[in-house]
Homo-oligomer: A and B are copies of this chain.
Amino acid sequence: MKVDDTAYRTIWVPEDGWSVVIIDQTRLPHEFAQVGLRTVEDAARAIEIMQVRGAPLIGATAAYGMALAMHEDPGDSSLAAALQRLGRTRPTAVNLRWALEEMRRVLEPLGENARTAAAYARAAALCDEDVAINRQIGEHGLAVIRAAAAGKPDGQVNVLTHCNAGWLATVDWGTATSPIYQAHDAGMNIHVWVDETRPRNQGASLTAWELGRHGVPHTVIADNVGGHLMQHGKVDLCITGTDRTTARGDVANKIGTYLKALAAFDNDVPFYVALPSPTIDWTIEDGVASIPIEERSAEEVSHMTGRTESGTIETVSIVPEGSACANFAFDVTPARLVTGLITERGIAAASREGLAGLFPERADG
């Protein structure tokens, strides 16, 4: 999407033809900085320290990480080591494993001479596929927003979203934001409630930033606020992304998504989850029981980074010395709370039948 009227993707190969450039998302919203990746270790670290995050972008970065590994050494042991190194960067996102499996499938049968070019080609294609998928998600989601607008006298649609399932989480368009950008670009009166999304503040720092740069009206709220807004008719629909969706439609997403889904259900507010089909894990049914939930550093809870009045970036401690903090990164929203799953092929009911109807060739696998 656009930043200061220039169109960007979140990951690309610059003029040198082999290195990889990403946007350093840990420095947003205060600085729009780009970082070059030159080794598979660079790519793995960028995923781990969340310079890139969001399930689709993690997958794309892992794919380019494999290309960097092949650029350095296309041998079998390098290939195996790169798959292993990248595979252990983040435990929850299924796209990571999907992208690495795809790279393995393409690269393993090839001779060493052919691997590097094939790796870059497959990584680039994987990015293009992500963009196409997200554009399609937006088209299907736009119909939901149009329907909501039709029911309101002023045509204004208030969408609540959690975390960042924006273009910054993907290669372009975003998942949850794709319908929002398409509605805005079509001239609709759309306003977004942006959950701050503690502890890493991806809503306040990333979603608000990208919506603002693209010109979409939005308001940042604490994660505690959504239920109150829904009780008072100030939310027309919720759209979030997901890091992993089970075969029956349970949805693992950023911690706190479950609480918003409960509030939406309690107030008859439609709750949609936007997802590219690689996010579906056809091997599991019960998300609460089966999806491993990443625990991250307590410092993400106890400390907060921002910009001081004098313009410097400073990190401050916000808990008392000696108090422990716990940091669970995701939670699982049961399918019963999800109105629909917005995929590149259309909107499915959050159920095995719903998903299998849209993806019969995967559901049978």
Contact surface of A with B, Cβ cutoff 8 Å? 28-29, 193-194, 196-199, 201, 204-205, 208-209, 211-212, 218-229, 231-232, 254-256, 258-260, 262-263, 266, 288, 293, 301-309, 314-328, 330-332
Contact = CB atoms under 8 A, between A and B. Distances in A.
Contact of A304 (B194, B302, B318): B318
A221 B329 CA distance: 11
A320 B29 contact: yes
B258 A227 contact: yes
A220 B195 CA distance: 20
Nearest to A336: B266
Q: Which 9 residue pairs spanning A and B have beta carbons closest together? A: A224-B256, A306-B316, A29-B320, A228-B331, A198-B222, A262-B262, A306-B318, A208-B323, A259-B259
Contacts of A301: 196, 220-222
A219 B326 contact: yes
9 contacts: A198-B222, A198-B224, A205-B320, A220-B323, A222-B301, A222-B327, A223-B256, A226-B259, A308-B315
Given A228-B255, A231-B331, A306-B316, 16 more contacts: A29-B323, A196-B301, A204-B318, A204-B319, A211-B323, A220-B323, A224-B256, A225-B326, A225-B328, A228-B293, A262-B262, A262-B266, A303-B306, A304-B318, A305-B316, A308-B316
